[in-house]
Amino acid sequence: MTIYTNIPLELVFEGMNEQRNAYMDIVIGDVRMQVEPLSPGVGRIVRLVECPLDAYLRPELSPGNVIALGPAVIK
């Protein structure tokens, strides 16, 4: 991999070796998504895994949004 940048490498690779929380797969309706748990019952959408095409246009399902997690939707 070659990186051409004028930013110091310490900033480019900052946090690269840090451990991240494990992602969870959840299903809400007909949308299966990958979520990063933030606290009990709350998670941030990482990506949509399996869903109808129109789900990508729904702003509430965009990556980075924080959603409530219930015990019935966790898989």
Per-residue pLDDT band for 74 (boundaries 50, 70, 90) equals very low
The dihedral built from the CA positions of residue 31, 27, 18 and 1, taken in this order, carries a sign that is: negative
- Beta pairing partners, 48: 33
Q: How far apart are CA 31 and CA 29, in angstroms?
A: 6
pLDDT(75) > 80? no
- For 16-25, which contacts have Cβ atoms below 8 Å and span 24 or more sequence positions? 24/69, 24/74, 24/75, 25/49, 25/75
Tens-place pLDDT, residues 22-60:
899 999 899 999 999 988 889 999 999 999 999 999 999
Determine the pLDDT at residue 5.
85
Q: Whole-prediction pTM value?
A: 0.67
Domain locations in the chain as residue ranges: 20-68
Task: Tally the C-alpha atoms within 13 A of residue 28's C-alpha that lie toward its C-beta.
Answer: 15
